[in-house]
Amino acid sequence: MKLLFDNAAQLVTAAGPARARRGDELRALEVLTGAALIVDDGRIAAVGPREAMRAAAPDAAVVDCGGRVLMPGLVDSHTHGIFGKPRHEEQELRAAGVGYMEIAKRGGGIHSSVRDLRARSEDELLALALPRLRRLMAHGTTTLEVKSGYGLTLDDELKSLRVIRRLQQALPIRLVPTFLGAHEIPLEYRAAPRTREEYIALIVEEMLPRVAAEGLATFADIFCEPGVYTPDEARVILGAARRHGLQLKLHADELETAGAAELAAEIGATSADHLAAVSDAGIKALGTAGTVATLLPGTMLFLGRPRQAPARALIDAGAAVALASDFNPGTSPTVNFPLVLTLAVSQLRLSVSEAILAATVNGAAAVALAAETGQLAPGFSADLALFDIGDIRELPYWYGDHRCHASWVRGRPAFGPGA
């Protein structure tokens, strides 16, 4: 079936190479006026002047964009969407001066979500995740990476990944599953008789083979941070993940410098995420590596941390910068990706062009989907978001608002009228 998307105030195509953009490319966001777009069988068939598009597809069903802004659906390449209860009590503790890592040392933080998730069934987790992912979709996200990582036993990690698989069947959004068994060292492996080495062996010898054999994940991730996993441990775990055919991601230099960005670049990880504490050497390494530098400014905002990732230095060094929500119960419980764009412009000092490309094309590159989604050009999947604004610069401007009118994934309504 053919669709003609007509009457948009602006058509933001983000068209260009089907790979992460860097440097000057990040300043060159293509925005068309007086343009329309043809979708054929779930793919973008043509983009061009309205008259020409109408003539080319006279029998297409018309989608009236109503003078709004049509753009590629947002690609949120970093979330921890499978969890049970919210962790609002930690927000007050932090306000009272107890740091994120201190809360973890007291058995809270990730450990608290782990205790909670282990006690819940797969059906229960699915029921909790469905409305949360619908809220993420309602803000214009059409591709969403979702991590496990609150199970930390073989069965509980498999349970989390199976929830992601069921969400993929239940929702029109495009999901990318990531295995994050190395999110923490579980409390039961921190004191005799069990050791952290035994937990790492469990990941390498039991979890990864099962996850790979059941095809439950595309990526493996690790929290490489002082007090959690060391770079040497990350090397072992990610090396094993790669041997099982998984692509690699790292939570890198999130709170303290650990050399994790350098490691990500060296091993050819698809992305290195967070980077609020990245070193100069790490910036340099990401400047020339194929690894996408994914920034999560909502996390630093919510944690009340004084320092955001050095986005300008990363871009100046040549890094391919992406943006993501980090949606999770501990450090970033927001479903509002456009709000992350606001933070990118006002806190990370990105231009609107850089922020939009970071949340579309480069987000897609961060989940190895840059040839499939993230831009509106012939051949790409018709993953679209329609925002109730008249100029793309309004997207980061109306901060915290809800401006998404509708979205489509593979040419099918995902959110809004018709979905």
Q: Toward ligand NIG, which CB reaches closer, 110 or 289? A: 110
84 binding ligand NIG? (CB under 6 A): no
Are 87 and 110 contacting, i.e. CB atoms less than 8 angstroms apart?
no
Question: What is the rounded distance in angstroms from the CA atom of residue 402 to the CA atom of residue 23?
Answer: 30
80 binding ligand NIG? (CB under 6 A): yes
Query: Which residue's CB atom is positioned nearest to ligand NIG?
Result: 330
Number of residues that bind ligand NIG (CB under 6 A): 13
Q: Toward ligand NIG, which CB reaches closer, 57 or 275? A: 275
Furthest-apart CA atoms within the chain: distance in Å: 74
145 binding ligand NIG? (CB under 6 A): no
The secondary structure of the chain in percent helix, strand, coil, rounded to multiples of 5, reads: 40, 20, 40
Are 143 and 373 contacting, i.e. CB atoms less than 8 angstroms apart?
yes
Structure tokens that stand for 367 in this block: 């989940």
Q: Toward ligand NIG, which CB reaches closer, 80 or 159? A: 80
Q: Toward Fe ion, which CB reaches closer, 39 or 303? A: 303
Beta-bridge partner residues of 327: none
- Tell me how far, at minimum, the Cβ of 417 lies from Fe ion, in Å: 33
Are 100 and 255 contacting, i.e. CB atoms less than 8 angstroms apart?
yes
- Tell me how far, at minimum, the Cβ of 147 lies from Fe ion, in Å: 7
Footprint on residues 316-345 left by ligand NIG (CB under 6 A):
326, 328-331
| CA end-to-end span of the chain | 17
Q: Return the one option of Fe ion, ligand NIG, none that residue 181 interacts with (CB less than 5 to 8 A, by type).
A: none
Residues in contact with ligand NIG, shown as a per-residue x/- string from 89 to 128 under the rule CB under 6 A: --------------------xx--x---------------
251 binding ligand NIG? (CB under 6 A): yes
**Residue count of the chain:** 419
Question: What is the rounded distance in angstroms from the CA atom of residue 259 to the CA atom of residue 267?
Answer: 13
Q: Return the one option of ligand NIG, Fe ion, none that residue 269 interacts with (CB less than 5 to 8 A, by type).
A: none
Pick the binder of ligand NIG from 6, 233, 254, 354 (CB under 6 A): 254
Footprint on residues 186-245 left by ligand NIG (CB under 6 A):
223
Question: What is the rounded distance in angstroms from the CA atom of residue 208 to the CA atom of residue 161?
Answer: 12
Burial string for 203-228 (b: 16+ CB within 10 Å, else e) reads bbeebbebbbeeebbbbbbbbbbeeb
Q: Toward ligand NIG, which CB reaches closer, 10 or 79? A: 79
Binding site for Fe ion (CB under 5 A): 326
